A and B are shown apart, each in its own frame.
Chain A
């Protein structure tokens, strides 16, 4: 009886950890998107967004470096220049983050956020740095320790984590929620599978999972089921298209090129 129980627990633990495994992407993947602003059906390309993965070896372990950058096109640079960097260093298998950097330069506004996770104590050492004329260094640092849930992730790790989920097993209408740590606050973000759709992408005509994103208490993203994400319905689950509603008009992210895909 005891042996059977141990075997059952071992089997459950194995299947659970298998479900958490990353089979969607490897180090060396590079996705390039065009971010556009849509008003009355007229699309204007505003910026280029890149999502890259690479391997980082430390003396004791091998981590995956997830990097997202946003850069405005040159004609926008003189009006509103954006140079944003979002990155997360994660466990390549479970996408558990260990270090997160967010450095934004948006039209003269600068902010640097760093999180160092301690998963044993569920604490995050947070640093928020802003520009100020009052200090000699020109920067104002704010150090904090934030208590987090055991499954809380930063925004970059969450985006990649969604790709590792077994969406093919989920029925239409199923939803899953994540806790995202953003600006030292934990935000509940939920994803709902709306169905499958075949759309034209940079990778050709692809069958995709259509997911609706809902961010609790968010004022920036408007509407119900108006923030959508399309992931290819294959093992890679590449984000090919995203649509989000903002106060005036809407925004779009469209995949331009993809290299280094795992499957």
Chain B
């Protein structure tokens, strides 16, 4: 049980850090919360069995990093559209082409 909790906690904590770095950072809250739960289970088991808690500390550290990063991004990042110059140029080009193609069109309803 202790080993399984440590392994799962470690995997989930690493996943949380990866997600926190990516633009889908909000999703990192789920693995981070699960990693924390497995970390606590592993910590309690280790205390009971009087075994080392070094790896569990890594799980907590990674979880804290992921939560801090995702929390910071959630509060301070502003959603804005990137560079759309090319798209605007394309829109103008297509409009000019359309005007030329539809010039001889006569609408009959």
Contact = CB atoms under 8 A, between A and B. Distances in A.
Interface in A29-81: 34, 37, 39-40, 42-45, 48, 56, 58-61, 63, 65, 67, 69, 71-77, 79, 81
Contacts of B90: 83, 85, 103
Given A71-B87, A75-B77, A79-B23, A98 B82 contact: no
Interface stretch (B4-12, B45-53, B56-64, B97-105): B97-105
Contact of A73 (B82, B95, B98): B82
B44 interface: no
A91 interface: yes
Given A69-B87, A71-B82, A91-B107, A40 B30 contact: yes
A65 B23 CA distance: 34
Nearest to B84: A71
Contact of A58 (B23, B82, B99): B99
Interface residues of B, number: 31
A187 interface: no
Interface residues of A, number: 41
A2 to B, nearest CB: 26
B106 A83 contact: no
Given A60-B106, A65-B95, A42 B26 contact: yes
A89 interface: yes
Contact of B98 (A72, A77, A89): A89
Interface string A93-106: 11010110101000
B94 A101 contact: yes
Grouping DSSP codes into helix (H, G, I), strand (E, B) and loop, the A interface class, with mixed when no group exceeds half, is: strand
A71 B81 CA distance: 7
Contacts of B109: 17, 91, 93-94, 96
Interface string B22-42: 111111011000000000000
A87 interface: yes
Given A73-B82, A74-B80, A75-B77, 11 more contacts: A42-B27, A42-B30, A56-B95, A56-B99, A65-B95, A69-B87, A72-B81, A85-B91, A85-B94, A87-B98, A103-B90
Contacts of B24: 37, 44
B87 A81 contact: no
Contacts of B99: 56, 58
Interface string B69-93: 0000000010111111011001100
